[in-house]
């Protein structure tokens, strides 16, 4: 594996070529995508939760657990109320990016799964055209902040989150119009929105299965940032 730079961030893997419009059109909505995307919601419609529970895709407890996780959260005023809404919005943004010929939309091979990392600043006209919301509505809240930007009175704690140890703080989250979308393509041919949230592109949380160079790079980043647990 080699380091591949996307929007100034390094990801380790194998360059598998550009993402095509046909691949974006094939994006599916498997249960694991829906449940992972749920991490970036603070609230979802009760009727949606009832359907998930009735169809055996989740329990009330698992839904609540994901909604309470620290990190970036979508603004419901954008009309992104469910994970399925986010998947449709993500597909639209990716199709626009491919049409514009953005070179950084490429597959990075990571063993059994290829990933594509996409960072985009949502413009006022895109909010109106793609989401039907007011141009001045923020896309959501940032779930990440630099240690340099933390108020002096905020306490930092270490926590196991999303597969690794990170810094976490409890504070009011800043808002953002930048979004990050991660596509995943499995060996079976299934293509899905692996992750989508308001915020900045980051390297993965450091884990033991990463090669030494990658783990060192990722650790240096996450030592300088903290996940935000929003103040209610």
At 103-126, the pLDDT tens digits run 779 999 988 899 999 999 999 999
Which ranges of 55-182 would DSSP assign to H, the alpha helix? 60-67, 83-99, 124-126
User: How far apart are alpha carbons 158 and 167 in whole angstroms?
Assistant: 5
How are beta strands 164-171 and 175-176 bridged, if at all? unpaired
What contacts 224, CB < 8 A, 6 or more positions away? 146, 147, 148
Lowest mean pLDDT among 51-65, 77-91, 99-113, 119-133: 99-113
Does residue 166 have a pLDDT over 90?
A: no
More confident residue, 149 or 130: 130
Q: Which residues of 110-145 are buried (b: 16+ CB within 10 A; e: fewer)?
A: beebbbbbbbbebeeebbeebbebeeebbbbbbbbb
pLDDT at 172: 84
Give me the pLDDT at residue 11, please: 95
- Position 232 scores a pLDDT of 59
Give me the mean pLDDT over the 173-193 stretch. Answer: 93
The arithmetic mean of pLDDT across residues 69-98, rounded, is 93
Buried b / exposed e across 38-77, counting CB within 10 Å, b at 16+?
A: bbbbbebeeebbeebeeeeebeeeebeebbebbbbbbbbe
Q: What is the pTM of this model?
A: 0.89
Is pLDDT of 216 > 90? yes
Mean pLDDT, rounded, for 180-207: 92
For position 48, what pLDDT does the model report? Answer: 96
pLDDT for position 161: 64
The C-alpha atoms of residue 140 and residue 163 are separated, in whole angstroms, by: 24
Tell whether the model's pLDDT for residue 162 goes beyond 70: no
Per-residue confidence at 185, pLDDT binned at 50, 70, 90?
Answer: very high
Q: Kindly report the average pLDDT of the chain as a whole number.
A: 90
Task: Give the pLDDT of residue 215.
Answer: 92
Instruction: Please say if the pLDDT value at position 151 is more than 90.
Output: no
| pLDDT range class, residue 180, cuts 50, 70, 90 | very high
Structure confidence at residue 163 as a pLDDT band (50, 70, 90): low
User: What is the predicted pLDDT for the residue at 229?
Assistant: 77
């Amino acid at each position: 594996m080699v380091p591949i730079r996307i929007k100034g961030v390094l990801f380790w893997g194998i360059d598998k070529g550009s993402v095509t419009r046909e691949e974006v059109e094939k994006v599916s909505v498997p249960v694991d995508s829906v449940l992972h995307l749920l991490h970036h919601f603070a609230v979802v419609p009760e009727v949606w939760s009832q359907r998930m529970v009735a169809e055996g895709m989740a329990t009330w407890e698992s839904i609540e657990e994901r909604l309470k996780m620290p990190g970036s959260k979508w603004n419901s005023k954008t009309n992104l109320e469910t994970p399925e809404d986010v998947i449709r919005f993500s597909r639209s943004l990716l199709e626009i990016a491919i049409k514009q010929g953005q070179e950084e939309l490429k597959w990075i091979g990571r063993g059994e799964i290829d990933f594509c990392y996409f960072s985009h600043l949502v413009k006022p006209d895109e909010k109106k055209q793609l989401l039907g919301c007011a141009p001045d509505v923020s896309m959501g809240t940032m779930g990440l902040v630099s240690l340099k930007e933390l108020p002096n009175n905020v306490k930092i704690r270490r926590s196991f989150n999303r597969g690794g140890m990170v810094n976490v703080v409890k504070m009011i989250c800043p808002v953002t119009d930048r979004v990050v979308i991660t596509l995943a393509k499995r060996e079976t041919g299934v293509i899905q929105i692996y992750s989508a949230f308001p915020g900045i592109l980051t390297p993965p949380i450091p884990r033991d299965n990463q090669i030494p160079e990658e783990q060192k790079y990722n650790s240096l980043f996450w030592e300088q940032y903290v996940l935000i647990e929003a103040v209610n």
